[in-house]
Structure 1
Amino acid sequence: MTYLKSFQFPNESMEWGFFMGIRRTCHDSFYPFQVLSQRGLEKIEFEPVTILYGGNGSGKSTALNIIADKVGAVREAAYNKSNFYPDYIKLCEMERISEPPENSRIITSDDVFDYMLNIRNLNEGIHQKREDLFKEYLESKYADFQFHSLEDYEKLRKVNLSRSRSQSVFVRRQLMDNVREYSNGESAFLYFTEKIEKDGLYILDEPENSLSPERQMELMAFLEDSARFFQCQFILSTHSPFLLSMRGAKIYDLDEKPVKVKRWTELKNVMAYYEFFEAHRNEFRKERNI
């Protein structure tokens, strides 16, 4: 499914026209001006899966944030904006095939890391509460307590519960179970499968972070199926050869100037993997007795 057909960024001429019309000269940075225009990225034409590829500082995250803001995608983690950011967004144009669904969102590495930290913090809080309840159980069970008024009802309830139940039952009755804590890779993969629903536009910034090669292949299959069968559109940045190999993905190489559309097998990062494994082909064959 394709909700967003194309996105137009301001070119150097448009940016120069903007600067000529302002009098603000006390700024050291005009970000995000002069970032994408310097790469020659003026227009992206989207497919159900569109990938921005490039090295650090190539502008991938900048482009994704700009698209997300213009579309109005839901975002959780905050990110840095300059004073000129709203001005830049106004100069951008987009062409839609249909209105992006309300559940459309941008997911960044910060979102995933915050999710993993929240699980850990929640479990730490539950653990501390459990220790407090162990102490409360002993105090209630052996308390010299007499019921005088309705104000004492809660205390009476705890005394009766502690004297009629074991310590473990007493604690379980008043405490939620620990949220299961997965490995970082498991948690990251779970986050994507929970947040990505059918009929949505999703902007993903390097989703392979924290994922093992096996998990990256699972995410690749999940994204392919979501685009093919569940009417999702994906715009993402990645270095992962697994994600870059997704069927039907349109890849913009931001390491080229001007930016070019390429096949995944033409990309410098993928070629580095290929040449490395080719150089060690005999070692792999020996290990597998081929």
Structure 2
Amino acid sequence: MISSQYVGRITLRRDKVDSFDRYPFSLPAIRSLEQIDLHPRMTYFIGENGSGKSTLLEAIAVSLGFNAEGGTRNFNFGTRRSHSVLHEYLRLAKGIRRPRDGYFLRAESFFNVATEIERLDEDPMAGPPIVDSYGGRSLHEQSHGESFLALMTQRFGGQGLYILDEPEAALSPQRQLAVLSRMHDLVLDNSQFIIATHSPILMAYPDACIYQCSNEGISRIAYEDAEHFQVTRDFLSNPQRMLQVLMER
């Protein structure tokens, strides 16, 4: 499997860690990490806020040469250095194929990426405007959700490695369904996704690997066993009963 995909395995070089009592190694998901096998098409990291899923995703992206705040490998800017040193302790097993395209999306810093695109496009000698590959319209002139969709539909070209951190942050449920459909188109065009998400819609992709980050560490689970799925299902099956429990005083 490893040779047929862009990234097949992630290993924590535990012998290089001097202490598991300091951040980010103190996070339960990282403290217990040895190695993770990635799906050749779709891998999800899920868990509560602060569980370490975004920290791990960021480290994977930086290890692969992406800018810590997002963008392609050609982006090299930083508004504030905040990423951890975890990438220095990861070993990534890559396949024999190399992606033609690639992108790291961080929902919380996509605004900074949009600003960097505008800054680079101000240089008349820099070649064709970068914004053209995002549909030709400034990402700042669109809603957060519209700019995400422009990224997915216009910038992502297939045969790529796409690392997405909470892409659902600005998307309505209907738009999440549209993104799920677009991801499938890209998978059919030999793309691989690694995603951190809270969305039970996005993580429903068939035959995906789902890794849950929790206080017990990191483990692979089935979609139906994910708390995100179970809580959403229970609420929608009887919202009045759930609301009564939540609001009982």
TM class by shorter chain equals 0.7 to 0.9
* CA 214–42 in structure 1, closer or farther in 2 if over 3 Å, else same: same
CA RMSD of aligned residues (A): 3.2
> Matches of residues 157-176 of structure 1 in structure 2 within 5 Å?
none
* CA 277–40 in structure 1, closer or farther in 2 if over 3 Å, else same: same
1:108 alignment partner AA = R
**Which residue does the alignment assign to 2:34?**
42
**Which residue does the alignment assign to 2:206?**
247
Whether 1:33 aligns to 2:36 is: no
- Deviations 1:67-107, CA, capped at 9 Å, x for gaps: 1122223544745145xx2xx43432121112543632211
SS of the equivalent of 2:62 reads helix
Question: Which of 80, 91, 108 is the equivalent residue of 2:89?
Answer: 91
**Which residue does the alignment assign to 1:261?**
220
* CA 68–179 in structure 1, closer or farther in 2 if over 3 Å, else same: closer
Q: How far apart in 2 are the matches of 1:119 and 1:93?
A: 31
Identical residues among aligned pairs (%): 27
Q: How far apart in 2 are the matches of 1:178 and 1:43?
A: 41
Superposition deviation, residue 53 in structure 1: 0.4
Matched residue count: 211
1:109 alignment partner AA = A
**Which residue does the alignment assign to 2:82?**
80
**Which residue does the alignment assign to 1:202?**
162
Give the structure with the higher percent strand: 2
Question: Which of 3, 6, 15 is the equivalent residue of 1:3?
Answer: 6
* CA 118–51 in structure 1, closer or farther in 2 if over 3 Å, else same: same
Q: How far apart in 2 are the matches of 1:273 and 1:178?
A: 35
> Matches of residues 10-29 of structure 1 in structure 2 within 5 Å?
10-11=13-14, 14-15=16-17, 18-19=18-19
- Deviations 1:133-159, CA, capped at 9 Å, x for gaps: xxxxxxxxxxxxxxxxxxxxxxxxxxx
* CA 278–68 in structure 1, closer or farther in 2 if over 3 Å, else same: same
Q: How far apart in 2 are the matches of 1:119 and 1:43?
A: 36
Superposition deviation, residue 19 in structure 1: 4.6
Q: TM-score normalised to the size of structure 2?
A: 0.72
Give the structure with the higher percent helix: 1
SS of the equivalent of 2:214 reads coil
Question: Which of 102, 118, 138 is the equivalent residue of 1:104?
Answer: 102
Q: How far apart in 1 are the matches of 2:28 and 2:104?
A: 19
Q: How far apart in 2 are the matches of 1:178 and 1:68?
A: 27
Q: How far apart in 2 are the matches of 1:89 and 1:115?
A: 21
Whether 1:188 aligns to 2:127 is: no
Q: How far apart in 1 are the matches of 2:236 and 2:137?
A: 43
Superposition deviation, residue 111 in structure 1: 4.4
**Which residue does the alignment assign to 1:66?**
59
SS of the equivalent of 1:226 reads helix
- Deviations 1:11-61, CA, capped at 9 Å, x for gaps: 4x652xx359xxxxxxxx943332355552322101110000001011111
> What residue ranges of structure 1 are gaps of 5+ in the alignment?
21-28, 122-176, 283-290
* CA 119–214 in structure 1, closer or farther in 2 if over 3 Å, else same: farther
Q: How far apart in 1 are the matches of 2:145 and 2:54?
A: 22
